[in-house]
Amino acid sequence: MNKRVNTFLVALLVATIAVLPAMIGSFGTALMNDIGVSTLVVLGLVMLTGTGGATSFGQAAFVGIAAYATGWLTTTQDLSPWLGLLFALFLTGAAALAIGMLTLHLGGHYLPLSTIAWGLSIPLLFGNIAALGSNTGLANIPPLQIGPWSLMEAKTIYYLIWPVVGLAFLFSYNLMNSRAGRAIRSLRGGATLLGSVGADAYRVRLWLFVTAAQLAAIAGWLYAHMNRFVSPSAFNLRASIEYLLMAIAGGVGHLAGALFGSGVVLLLKNKVQDALQILSSNGARLEIIVFGIVFILLLHFARGGAMGLIARWSARRKTPSAPALADDGTPPLPRRPLPTRGSEILRVEHALKRFGGLVAVNDVSFTVNAGEIVGLIGPNGAGKSTLFNLVTGAAPVSGGTIAFCGRDITHLPQRRIARLGMARTFQHVNLRPNMSVLDSVALGAHARGSAGMLRGGLSLDRREEHQIMAEAWRQLARVGLAERAGERAGSLPLGWQRILEIARALAADPILLVLDEPAAGLRKQEKAALAELLRGLRSEGITILIVEHDMDFVMKLVDRLVVMNFGSMLLQDSPAVVRADPRVQSAYLGSVL
Amino acid sequence: MSAMLEITDLHVAYGRVEAVRGVSLSLQPGQIVSVIGPNGAGKTTLMAAAMGLLPSTGSLRFEGEDLRRLDVEARVERGMCLVPEGRELFGTMSVQDNLLLGAYTRHRRGAPKQALSSVFERFPRLAERRRQRASTLSGGERQMLALGRALMAMPRLLLLDEPSLGLAPLIVRDILHIVRDLRAEGVSILLVEQNARAALEISDHGYVLETGEVVVAGPSATLANDPRVQAIYLGGDPETD
Amino acid sequence: MDWDLALILLVDGLANGSVYLLAGIGLVLIFSVTRVLFVPFGDIAAFAALTLAAFEAGRLPATVGMVATLAALATLAETWRLLRIGEHRRLGRALVGWGLLPLLPCAVAWGVVESQAPGWLQILATLLLVLPIIPLVARLTLQPIADASVLVLLMVSLVLHFLLSGLGLLFFGAEGSRTKPLTSLNWEVVAGFTVGGQTLLMVAAALLLSALFYLAFEYTVIGKALRATAVNRVGARLVGIRPAQTALLAYCGASLLAGLIGVLVAPTTTMYYDSGFIIGLRAFIAAIIGALTSYPLTAVGALAVGIFESFASFWSGALKDAIVFGLLIPVLILRSYMALHVDDEIEELDE
């Protein structure tokens, strides 16, 4: 969207929110307060579920922990609500950290299932602890107090809630557009994608989980002092599912969806309650039917939510452009020294990989020297991709050793190998389709920065961020993609997507570039452009190991070839010798019966 | 007489990436037609689309009948059968159960017992291992089981996707001999192969696919000696070779 | 704790475990064939209990209205789908299958009430009446998005629980009921230690049904087709097995199991419209112990959960549920580590 229009819309929204209580009366203001508190929870959920891909069916439990923490501290211990805030943040953070460390390693659908487990158990605990008032809860929680002002009225606490919501949005927006945010936005690409840029997917997810819980904690604290009463039923599984409904209704892929979703759902709920009360004596409790039907319809027909529709509509109208970066004298990111041309940088010795009884890579040894392009070829099923995974650390080795720049990397995790200067691309292009081209490349420089989520969210990472973006621009210009920097990565044709992956790899300032079938599926001209680019990189001193099936492409490009067949090495030699070898011919073309 | 399989201007796309671009192909009853080409050429995609596993645009006709309104299962009922690249066996079930399920569409129409004994005759190894789980079989045996399961349905058209993939040369030879025998028994076969020489050796007609398009087509005997085919596989310029 | 008490708790746990076993089979059946974690399973069991209670009271159960409504909606949905794809010829079959067939048990129910039929007929009518519920609900809410990710299906299924409990309140009202005991026999194992006939009935039902399911899966074509769909969906399609059909079968089987659970549980405790959720959740833990695919492991898990629950309630009645659900987390961790660790792509929600 146009930046000026955006700024205007945000200003308009802020102004409206500022004057709203004067116009809508105390009932409307109370409703707005509820919306604000929910927005905080849903904002965390949008980042966690929509962006980070970890669905939580238990977010209300975190709201509950915070609400009970401050409720207990202020009623039974008679301490200040402001201490209650610290206590709530601490307790919720600790709980999220513990739960996250226990469950975030879970694969597949086990993770969302585990959220149901604690989403159910935690409210049940509240209801059964006598010190927390069991099922009746805690009453008479004191209102908030700022200096001489008491925030007891809906109209007064409104002016605390909504600035907090505003700050939360600012924090989240900054976070999403920082180094950590790019890693978060890439979480759905899988642990291998993050590992390939030197990031640890588990840690990124863990801190995202804690961040989302902290937003829920602030909401819980506000909730407790706004209603001045807490009971377990406000934090049970149903409440969690309602937050999820808000996130999905608003659009789980966009921060603004949080505001939109909580607003729409709570307003609707309010109207439905009124309408049902007239229809039936059970009215208030029947709203669940309406709510269920709406949710299921959403999941059937509009999983992208309202913001998804808006985004689709606005994307149709224009191609976004990325703002160019002004040179403000910040020095560029430091580069690592490249090894002298001809020195050995990769040594694979007797590499072995077994999958159960099957030997996929059998005793393969080869070396790669600085400044050359080496091709690893072989027919389908020869074990090339497996060997590729062994070299880059994406899969553990069953036997043999691998050394990179004189260092044994046989048992190092993928991200450590990446940080040593080995960058890779993917056979099945692994880009986040909704990330901009520029951001996709900036992700590659992850290991060259250090700013975490807090620094990113508070915008204290400006200098480093400037350096990373400058680097991203530099690499885009290097591969010829600078003009498309603002477009969605997913909107590029396949050929450009592969080149974008190479730019991402280059942003890591690699010594060795490992490419997995970069020419697969490309048209002739695209292949020619790719080959041209790779030759250029070689002349700049970058070493390239290329796994490729397309012989035509690879023969014209490489200095040396390693040929594999049935998991073993057939031979290694120059392209001309390899092509003339009858063994290679029969491996590729097959033999006559 | 209409063709067994008639594909006209077929397009298949994964999102924005088009994997098959305007392929036309025709297969007469009793023929083996091979589709060869390097990795990523779109061969497997073509097969999946022909079977209805992937949505496609263009025309697909089986014995003159428009296939577009038929789902995969209905195509199986009509007499088409795909042996996919990934074999797609029922790993935790026994070899015999796998085979019996192959005749699922024919259960209402008579006993699959006879078909079972004829498959066991063709593949004695499967008879030996009838009680074993499919997942415990070796690569070659799995391919036999996949083929056997398809034959249980008594197909008139067999779509074979890379039957030689990952198999040792001797087993490849066995399997391709069986393919040739099947033609003699009246089954038409669309064969996707990477092993170009062997595929052209046993087929009547061949199509060479490159980046989703047919680049060369013709009688297999002609293609086998065409320098362009070698160039596509091994690289280099056909004119100067 | 002395041995007598432990024995009593153990027997109690086995009786509970038998119920979870039946529910666990239902959950695994649905998940393995359709990839849906059917959270509202217990709600259907509760509906069955309330249906039987209505029969006993000589009233026409509200289930009739529920089934009729669902059948009408399903028929509408199916008609709309067929018209949209232009398959007018199949309209008649759809009308009979989705509209009329589910109404048959309603007619039976009416007959049972009018003729004041004996108890066993009431039970039979209950089972028949509950049978169409899961297939109809699934036709409306799950079948249209059968190809969505497990995550989206799980969300729908969770929401479905809330929707169904709302419908339960609407149709059955808030008051609970308890049915007559199925048997008043007691079995004195040793002097001073008796096992109730009801307990024996539960264990026997679990054993019998497990055996029946085993035989069906091992020796019938339909059973094998169900297993094949669970093992490999693409493979199943390639031999001509329609996933929608096997899914329908699985839903019917699960509905039958839910009905049985309702009938078995109804005499032991007062059932409300929302009492089933807890049963479903505990069975859920059992099913996860079985990795949602293995019936034998689910059975072991069900008995373990039943016994665990029985002892947990002895130690702390108040925290029993929190403890039992908390059990899910270690089970999940164990499961996740045992599963082959593939770096599966995270499922997409939007798009």
Contact (CB, 8 A) for A434 and A490: yes
pLDDT per position as a tens digit, A396-411: 999 999 999 999 999 9
Determine the residue of chain C that is closest to A281 in CA distance.
C170
Instruction: Tell me the pLDDT tens digit for each residue of C135-185.
Output: 999 999 999 998 888 888 999 999 999 999 999 988 898 888 888 888 777
pLDDT, tens only, B102-115: 999 887 656 678 88
The domain tally of chain A equals 2
- B179 touches B32 (CB < 8 A): yes
Which has more confidence, A556 or B107? A556
Give pLDDT, residue C349. 46
Determine, for residues B93 and C231 on separate chains, whether the beta-carbon distance falls below 8 Å.
yes
| pLDDT at residue A556 tops 90 | no
User: How long is chain A?
Assistant: 593
Which tokens go with C140? 């409306």
Q: Is A525 helix (H, G, I), strand (E, B) or coil?
A: helix
B230/A589 Cβ within 8 A: yes
Confirm if B203 and B33 have CB atoms less than 8 A apart.
yes
Specify the DSSP element, H or E, that contains C135: helix C133-141
Query: A touches which chains (3+ CB pairs under 8 A)?
Result: B, C
Distance CA C334, CA C327 (A): 11
Residues above pLDDT 70, as percent of chain B: 94
Q: Which of C31, C158, C285 to mutate to test the interface with A (most CBs of A within 10 A)?
A: C158
Q: ipTM for the complex?
A: 0.92
Instruction: Inform me whether the pLDDT recorded for C239 exceeds 90.
Output: yes
Domain-ending residue, one of A217, A236, A255: A236
The residue among A104, A268, A254, A178 whose CA lies nearest residue A454 is A178
Confidence tier at A318 by pLDDT (50, 70, 90): low
Residue A2 has pLDDT above 70, yes or no: no
Least confident of A275-284, C106-115, C187-196, C214-223: A275-284
Report how many Cβ contacts below 8 Å link chain A to chain C: 145
C346 has a pLDDT exceeding 60: no
> According to the model, what pLDDT value does residue A330 have?
83
For the cut 90, the answer to whether the pLDDT of residue A94 exceeds it is: yes
Tell me what the mean pLDDT of segment A334-361 comes to. 88
pLDDT at A134 > cutoff 90: no
Nearest to B72 among C228, C231, C237 (CB): C237
To probe the interface with C, which of A255, A296, A430 has the most C CB atoms within 10 Å? A296
> Could you say which of B84, B86, B101 has the minimum Cβ distance to residue C228?
B101
- Report the candidate in A124, A126, A116 with the shortest Cα–Cα distance to residue A240: A116
Q: How many domains does chain C have?
A: 1
Torsion on CA atoms A229, A230, A235, A236, rounded to nearest 10: -110
Residues 6+ apart with CB under 8 A from A34: A266
Average pLDDT of the segment spanning C185-211: 84
Of C334 and A13, more confident: A13
Which residues, other chains included, contact B167 with Cβ-Cβ below 8 Å and sequence gap of 6+? B139, B140, B143, B175
C218–B contact, CB cutoff 8 A? no
List C-alpha distances in Å: B137 to B103, B115, B131, B145, C50: 21, 21, 11, 9, 51
DSSP for A1-21?
A: --HHHHHHHHHHHHHHHHHHH
Q: For A230-285, write each residue's pLDDT tens digit.
A: 999 999 998 999 999 999 999 888 899 999 999 999 998 888 888 877 766 666 66
Looking up tokens 């048209």 gives: A523
Chain A partners within 8 Å of B40 (Cβ): 517, 520-521, 549-550
A524 and A389 housed in the same domain: yes
Q: What is the pLDDT of residue C135?
A: 97
3-class secondary structure per residue, B60-116: EEECCEECCCCCHHHHHHHCEEEECCCCCCCCCCEHHHHHHHHCHHHHHHCCCHHHH
Average pLDDT, chain C: 89
Token duo for residue A95? 């709980």
Q: Which subunits sit against B, judged by 3+ Cβ pairs under 8 A? A: A, C
Domain B5-79+156-240 in CATH 3.40.50.300? The answer is yes
Q: Per-residue pLDDT for C292 more than 90? A: no
Ordered DSSP codes for C270-285: -B-TTTHHHHHHHHHH
pLDDT > 70: percent of chain C: 96
- Do residues A324 and A354 touch, judged by C-beta distance below 8 A? no
Q: Which residues contact C135 (CB under 8 A, 6 or more apart)?
A: C248, C251, C252, C255
Are the beta carbons of C225 and B101 separated by less than 8 Å? yes
Task: Select from B82, B92, B100 the Cβ nearest to the Cβ of C238.
Answer: B82
Give the chain A residue nearest C151 (alpha carbons): A109
What count of Cα atoms within 13 Å lies in the side-chain half-sphere of residue B20?
27
Provide the residue range defining the domain that includes C84.
3-350
Predicted TM-score (pTM) of the model is: 0.88
Give tens-digit pLDDT for A467-510.
999 999 999 999 989 999 989 898 888 888 999 999 999 999 99
Residues 6+ apart with CB under 8 A from A401: A347, A348, A349, A350, A351, A408, A410
Nearest 5 degrees, angle CA A232-CA A165-CA A237?
Answer: 25
Q: Give the best residue of B85, B87, B92 to mutate against chain C (max C CB count within 10 A).
A: B92
pLDDT of res. A304: 81
Residue B67 has pLDDT above 50, yes or no: yes
Chain C (66-105) residues lying within 8 Å, Cβ to Cβ, of chain A: none
DSSP characters over A402-420: EEETTEE-TT--HHHHHHT
B-C contacts (CB, under 8 Å): 63
Distances (CA, A) of C71 to A264, A296, C79: 32, 18, 12
Residue A281 CA to its chain's centroid (Å)? 46
What is the rounded average pLDDT of the residues B196-222?
90
Statement: residue C350 has pLDDT above 50: no
Contact A257, A250 (CB under 8 A): yes
Cα A209 from Cα A51, distance rounded (Å): 12
Decide which of A3 and C118 is more confident: C118
**A372 within 8 A of A543, measured Cβ to Cβ:** yes
Residue A63's domain comprises 28-236
DSSP H helices in A382-520: 384-392, 414-419, 437-444, 453-457, 462-479, 494-506
Amino acid making up residue B236: G
- Residues of each domain in chain B carrying CATH 3.40.50.300: 5-79+156-240
Q: What is the CATH number of the domain that holds A384?
A: 3.40.50.300
CATH number of the domain that residue C7 is part of: 1.10.3470
